[in-house]
Amino acid sequence: MASPYPDGDREKVASKLPPVLQQELKIRCAELGLDIQDAAATAISDWRARDALVSDVDTAGSKSFSTWLPTGKYDDFKATCVERNLSYIQGLAQSIRAWLEDNPSPAQVGLPAAPRRIIVCNQKGGVGKTTISAGIAEAHAETAGIGVKCLHNFVSALTDTELERLNRSREQLLAVIADYAAGGQRVLLVDYDPQLHLSSQLGIAPLAVGEDSLVAHMTGEPRGDIKDLVVPIDDPRFAGRLHVLPGTREGFLLDSKLALTAAQSRGFQKESALERALHPVEDDYDVIVLDSPPSLGLSMDAGLYYGRRRPNEKAGRSGVLIPVQSEDSSADAYEMLVDQIDDLETDLHLEIDRLGIVVNLFDSRRGYIATSSLEEWHNVEDQNVIAVVDDLKEQRETVRLKKPLLSYVPESKQANVMRLIVAGAGR
């Protein structure tokens, strides 16, 4: 069954596919930085073009699967299935299986893919960077499959008012989460803010001033292996996949240390300092989330540079995620951050993708101030509001208890918004 795509150039296809193939497809697309709908379209085209018949796939227990195909491609696919005397479900399963075999995991061919890098940033403090950083890291690390079920229930229960805040229909949100590939991933959460809110909220001791730290590795003064600084989050929901690189108060001196090191060391590039420091741990993780300081200095340049689009990396896979609030000072800070990003792109000839805006701590009781500001965020040029996070008690409770949000209240509204952020980032 097919239905029109909102923009008219694709049609939604609803079929069935074995759960194992669905999961493999999501994981492989995440590894290769591809959209599921593009992979499915290629799979069907390649399958139709094959001269040799493909072996039958066991389709027992197939579950609902939907994707968007270029207009007319589904009719061509059905015609080929009729010619080969196959059911549509069998034809789709053969297409996806063949595509998976033709596009092996980078790990299988000895070429580890670079981790996805999400830089959570805003020059203004108090907008919820730490909350968002921790939440999306937890969503990536929780057991695979849990998030999809929770998200479907969450989106199905959204009120018309909540949908209006997001400026999206329920159908559009369900289409976004249809490609949800988070869960079961190895995640490093980096406390890059010398205020140490992230380390504190998760009950992790900060690294002592004068001892080995991320700052020491960025400024060419390492005192050991950076891998030894990483602390795992001991929670069964994440099964050892969620790790934290604690912060240090020495981060308050990072800008001056970077400037001094650049002055003393010929060829030292300040902007690439964070990338050089984290390079030894990259092969250990699928996703790296950076909780950035409220700064426009050299340390932020290094953070933005780390989130740039690397050669052959898909647009929107890595980049900056910007939490804001529904008030004017947050808008002023946003403009300064955008200027910094634009200047860095121009000066260093690179691309830094904007993954979206998250309006945090929204409280409709503030009336016109909140609602008019939210409308302005929706009207920001070349940027999307991918989530609106209400000011709820759950987050404050997790901070007091020093527990991860998705472990403490995994099916809460706030936990599901974190998953929605992950699902919508970069779209």
pLDDT in tens, 303-324: 999 999 988 788 899 999 999 9
3-class secondary-structure state, position 196: coil
Domain ranges of the chain: 2-102, 116-424
Mean pLDDT of the 124-147 span: 92
pLDDT digits (tens, 9 = 90+) for 186-219: 999 999 999 999 999 999 999 999 999 999 999 9
Residue type, 1: M
User: What pLDDT is attached to residue 109?
Assistant: 59
pLDDT digits (tens, 9 = 90+) for 89-121: 999 999 999 999 888 887 665 555 789 999 999
User: What pLDDT is attached to residue 424?
Assistant: 86
> What would the DSSP string read from start to end of 131-192?
HHHHHHHHHHHSPTTHHHHHHHHHHHT--HHHHHHHT--HHHHHHHHTT---SS--EEEEE-
Residue type, 120: V
CA distance 240 to 234: 7
pLDDT digits (tens, 9 = 90+) for 35-48: 888 899 999 998 99
User: What pLDDT is attached to residue 308?
Assistant: 95
Q: Is the pLDDT of residue 8 over 60?
A: no
- Does 116-424 carry CATH code 1.50.10.10? no
pTM reported for the whole predicted model: 0.76
DSSP character for 248?
A: B
Q: Is the dihedral of CA 246, 248, 252, 254 positive or negative?
A: negative
Chain mean position to CA 312? 18
Q: Is the pLDDT of residue 426 over 80?
A: no
- CA dihedral (284, 240, 22, 312) in degrees, to 10, reads -20
Cβ pair 100, 25 in contact under 8 A: yes
